[in-house]
Amino acid sequence: MHGAIDLGARQAATRKQQERQAQGGASAGAAGGQYVVDVTDETFNTEVVERSQSVPVLVDFWAEWCGPCKQLGPILEKLAAEAAGKWVLAKVDIDANQQLAAYMQQMGVRGIPFVAAVVGGQLLPFLNGAAPEPQVRQAIDQLFEALRKEGILPEGPEDEAVPAGAEGREPAPSVYDAAEDALQRGDLDGARTAFEGLLAANPRDVQAKQGLSLVELSLRARSLDPGRVVQEAVDKPGDVQAQINAADVEMVSGRIEDAFDRLLRAVRTAAGDDRDAARRHLLLLFEVMPPEDPRVAKARRSLQAALF
């Protein structure tokens, strides 16, 4: 009958999934090890949605009877192992997990294998059907590069080139003092030089990155007339440069969320080069704040929703 569920197939699939879990996930994780996880209706929120706030998750919807799934699955597991934690593979047996199967159908997907990407709690359709390993590898690389360019996957320390011998090196306190003293004196050019020196010694220095971003913001804001900038932003709501200037003024005055919201509105309403300019400037403002600041995390999620 149309819409009927094969309970026998579901029961068999459930038993197989339980066997895999009892074996420590050996079936699903043979190639991917700790970077491959079986996901159920009950664990999807924890293993996929919540996990995606800190690391991208690719979700492989498959079934035991699906021949192409058996071709694609091992490829994904191998690439997950090679990625070594840069992303995680979650495998969903649709016969054993009818809620997730129904959710997949609600997205308009009618066939498997199907792979979705989940980033920051947002699900993006990715692959539909099997493909050779080189094609899958290229598709994954292109996906993450596109997300990174949009600011959804900010560059992490592991992605940055570190000069030989720089790992773990602590900058001399006097160098930090010089940068901070220059800021206190209002010597923005001196502070910029000091922070650039810190980053040359250690590109992973988050504090120096944040300091340099603050200096650059201050330099931009120094040339602006706050009253005129705010009025111009009101008079010209569609002028992206006017909104960028106003956001800088709001940032230096401590109105962080107002600045983020202003540029998010510009991203939603502008198009083409103007939209990209608003997006790129919002990413610059993120760098002024500590990476763990909840306002940055919230604005990143909003940016992701606006772009996709």
DSSP label of 156: P
Cβ 289 vs Cβ 281: under 8 Å: no
Question: At 122, is the secondary structure helix, strand, or coil?
Answer: strand
Which residues lie closer than 8 Å to 111 by C-beta, 6 or more apart? 128, 129
Give the count of beta carbons closer than 10 Å to the beta carbon of residue 263: 28
Residue whose token pair is 């990155």: 209
Catalytic pick from 28, 66, 112, 191?
Answer: 66
Residue labelled with tokens 């997949």 = 104
Token readout for 77 is 């597991």
Closest CA to 280 of 307, 250, 255: 307
Q: Which of 31, 69, 119, 183 is catalytic?
A: 69
C-alpha count within 13 angstroms, C-beta hemisphere, residue 60:
28
Question: Rounded to an integer, what distance in angstroms lies between the CA atom of residue 143 and that of residue 235?
Answer: 39
- 69 is known as an active-site residue: yes
Cis? peptide before 154, omega within 30° of 0: no
Residue 270 is among the residues annotated as catalytic for this protein: no
121 and 53 Cβ atoms separated by less than 8 Å = yes
Which residues belong to the active site? 66, 69
